């Protein structure tokens, strides 16, 4: 079997598995939302947010508000837009930290202006439904090609999800934040190496991070969280 055939089979497997897993997570969140306290802090987005172990890393920190995480691995901007009721509106948060769109980068048909158009639609929907909620848009994290290229499937994604594409998208996200009166937070300096790649010791497979990668992210974020009330 050729590498291309292996990548295709892996892609099909992941797509089928991810669809079932996303639906299950959304239903779990829907039920869990019955017990949340409104007016708190919400983290929402794709796997880069879902895998942020923020509750564990916040142990011992005295924040004035609770933190909820409604990230769903594999989510694109289209999927989050369709799931806003469960992932955002049911919680009625006072503050939202959002990181969505990296999965939109993973293909040859990607167009940056179209991604930003979908992102803007999400933000405008939130602002219309929750006009007093403050939104913080996190920069997309860089990848680590040194690690990712060891895996045929990840290497295939990295044809498109390059750090150059991510950097350009981050500039567009920053502009979008300014346009809509949101805050843009680039916390990437603490996890990048001299080449601008994610530091290899922090990454699982070139895209996602272990907890010790998220630790410096949280430390950079703590001054913002402590100031919320």
Which architecture does CATH list for 3-32+41-227? 3-Layer(aba) Sandwich (3.40)
> Residue 37, class by beta-carbon neighbours within 10 Å (0-12 exposed, 13-18 middle, 19+ buried)?
exposed
Domain boundaries, the chain: 3-32+41-227
| Higher pLDDT among residues 44 and 152, named by residue | 44
* pLDDT tens per residue across span 91-146: 999 999 999 999 999 989 999 999 999 999 999 999 999 999 999 999 999 999 99
What is the spatial order of strands in the sheet that 183-185 belongs to? 67-69, 41-45, 95-99, 134-138, 183-185
CB 135 within 8 A of CB 99: no
Predicted pLDDT of residue 10? 55
pTM above 0.85, yes or no: yes
CB 207 within 8 A of CB 163: no
Q: What is the DSSP letter of 65?
A: S
Q: What per-residue string of b and e applies to 83-107 under the rule 16 or more CB within 10 Å gives b? A: beebbbebbbbbbbbbbbbbbbbbe
Handedness of CA 136, 172, 50, 224 (dihedral sign): negative
Asked if pLDDT for residue 3 goes beyond 60, the answer is no
* pLDDT tens per residue across span 168-221: 999 999 999 999 999 999 999 999 999 999 999 999 999 999 999 999 999 999
Predicted pLDDT of residue 9? 57
State the average pLDDT for the chain. 93
In percent, how much of the chain has pLDDT > 90? 87
């Amino acid at each position: 079997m050729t590498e291309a055939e292996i990548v295709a089979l892996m892609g099909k497997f992941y797509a089928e598995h991810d669809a079932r897993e996303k639906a299950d997570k959304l239903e779990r969140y829907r039920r869990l939302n019955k017990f949340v306290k409104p007016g708190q802090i919400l983290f929402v987005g794709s796997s880069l947010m879902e895998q942020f172990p923020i509750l564990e890393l916040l142990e011992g920190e005295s924040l004035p508000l609770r933190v909820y995480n409604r990230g769903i691995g594999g989510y694109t901007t289209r999927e989050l837009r369709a799931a806003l009721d469960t992932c955002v509106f049911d919680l009625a948060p006072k503050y939202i930290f959002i990181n969505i769109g990296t999965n939109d980068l993973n293909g040859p048909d990607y167009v940056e202006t179209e991604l930003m158009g979908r992102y803007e639609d999400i933000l405008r929907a939130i602002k219309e439904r929750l006009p007093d909620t403050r939104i913080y848009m996190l920069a997309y994290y860089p990848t680590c090609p040194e690690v990712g290229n060891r895996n045929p499937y990840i290497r295939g994604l990295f044809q498109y999800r390059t750090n150059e594409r991510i950097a350009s998208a981050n500039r567009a996200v920053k502009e979008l934040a300014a346009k809509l009166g949101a805050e843009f937070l680039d916390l990437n300096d603490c996890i990048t190496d001299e080449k601008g790649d994610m530091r290899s010791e922090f990454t699982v497979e070139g895209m996602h991070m272990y907890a010790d990668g998220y630790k410096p992210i949280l430390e950079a974020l703590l001054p913002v969280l402590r100031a919320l009330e």
